[in-house]
Amino acid sequence: MRIAFVMAHEGVEQIELTSPWQALAETGETPQLISTRPGSVQAFNHLDKADTFPVDGTVGQASPDEFDALVLPGGVANPDALRMDERAVAFVRAFFDAGKPVASICHGPWTLVEAGVVRGRTMTSWPSLRTDLRNAGATWVDEPVVVCHEAPSTLITSRKPDDLQFFNDAMLREFGKVAV
């Protein structure tokens, strides 16, 4: 299974990248970091710069057809920049069009709003996105993780770093990496 982690060149919340990445790596997967620019991604611990991570490909080079699932980490600046990049939005939308599972945490659903894929879905997120998600047609709930099996693809959403264990468990289960 090939799994894409999509993010902007800076602004991703480091733990929301590294924790799901590690959970997948422990199953033998080698996720791919896909970004809006080549080089590296600057991660943050809240508002402070953290580590950098090498980019494996860009949304302009990579094809969603090459991947079986998508992870959208949060951080405030990351999804805000992604939603302004037409290629990134199209890349994300393609996973839904193809019926592939998508997992998104914290502010990550902002990109999903821009991609027009939340209408009719039950989701969670960082609380400040509640109105944006509702205005885009989603049902927002305040739960650690929500798995929505609304066709055409499964969507896993979570609120914040404190919920990462719930998020990772649901992501692994829905990506077929552990027994149901």
Question: Looking at 46, 106, 148, 149, which residue is catalytic?
Answer: 106
pLDDT digits (tens, 9 = 90+) for 77-134: 999 999 999 999 999 999 999 999 999 999 999 999 999 999 999 999 999 999 999 9
Range of the domain at 145: 3-174
Active-site annotation holds for 106: yes
Q: What is the CATH number of the domain that holds 65?
A: 3.40.50.880
Q: Tokens for 174, please give them.
A: 């829905």
Q: Tokens for 21, please give them.
A: 């990445």
Q: Are strands 57-58 and 10-13 parallel, antiparallel or unpaired?
A: unpaired
Residue 179 lies in a domain: no
At a CB cut-off of 8 Å and minimum separation 6, what does 56 contact?
32, 33, 34
Q: Is 175 helix (H, G, I), strand (E, B) or coil?
A: coil
Residue 8: closest CA among 41, 30, 38, 31? 41
Residue 180 lies in a domain: no
pLDDT digits (tens, 9 = 90+) for 19-38: 999 999 999 999 999 999 99
pLDDT score recorded for residue 179: 43
The DSSP secondary-structure symbol of 148 reads: E
Whether pTM exceeds 0.75 = yes
Residue 17 lies in a domain: yes
Q: Are 10 and 38 in contact (CB under 8 A)?
A: no
Residue 164 lies in a domain: yes
**How far is Cα 101 from Cα 109, in angstroms, rounded to an integer?**
14
Question: Looking at 9, 46, 107, 148, which residue is catalytic?
Answer: 107
Q: Which residues of 3-28 are buried (b: 16+ CB within 10 A; e: fewer)?
A: bbbbbbbbbbbbbbbbbbbebbeeee
pLDDT score recorded for residue 180: 39
Residue 50 lies in a domain: yes
Q: Tokens for 107, please give them.
A: 């502010």
Active-site annotation holds for 148: no
Number of C-beta neighbours around residue 178 at 10 A = 12
Q: How many structural domains comprise the chain? A: 1
